[in-house]
């Protein structure tokens, strides 16, 4: 189960569902050897960049990942390292696919530039909205004692 993580200067959760696919939706991972290698490569890259994989499915023509990224990492950077490093590893292991994906380009591109991501939290959007809407009902007795000054949003 995904839990809120306590870091040195923060508390939070950055869990996402990522989906991306190979260029031209080519069923690259239809062969068990290539699928297995991609699973291994994704785990290696995730470990290197401290991306925690909760669930993974390498389909014949796309990838699904349920991950948690470090608080210092952007979603865009997470995609860059996952897609970039795995492509490099895959082309090194299977050079015939490098030749296939380089057609008409200066450089081979395994992955399509598109991607899907969705934040996967432990609460719904409605719960967050309700929490913020009713946050003015908090008891802030310590403010009356002059310890803290807060701007009131209206």
Which residues are identified as catalytic? 131
Q: Give the E-state strand segments of the chain in sequence order.
A: 5-6, 11-12, 15-20, 52-58, 63-68, 116-119
Return the number of other C-beta atoms located less than 10 Å from residue 47's C-beta: 11
**What sign results for the dihedral spanned by CA atoms 106, 108, 114, 119?**
negative
> Rounded to an integer, what distance in angstroms lies between the CA atom of residue 11 and that of residue 95?
43
Return the number of other C-beta atoms located less than 10 Å from residue 111's C-beta: 20
């Amino acid at each position: 189960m995904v839990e809120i993580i306590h870091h040195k200067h923060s508390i939070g959760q950055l869990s996402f569902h990522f989906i991306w696919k190979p260029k031209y939706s080519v069923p690259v991972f239809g062969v068990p050897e290539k699928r297995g290698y991609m699973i291994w490569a994704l785990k290696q890259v995730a470990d290197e960049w401290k991306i925690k994989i909760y669930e993974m499915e390498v389909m014949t023509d796309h990838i699904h990942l349920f991950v948690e990224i470090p608080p210092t990492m952007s979603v865009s950077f997470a995609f860059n390292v996952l897609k970039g490093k795995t492509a490099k590893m895959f082309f090194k292991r299977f050079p015939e696919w490098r030749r296939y994906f380089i057609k008409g380009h200066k450089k081979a591109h395994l992955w399509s530039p598109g991607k899907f991501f969705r934040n996967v939290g432990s609460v719904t959007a409605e719960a967050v909205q309700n929490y913020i809407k009713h946050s003015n009902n908090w008891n802030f007795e310590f403010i009356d004692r002059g310890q803290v000054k807060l701007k009131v949003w209206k």
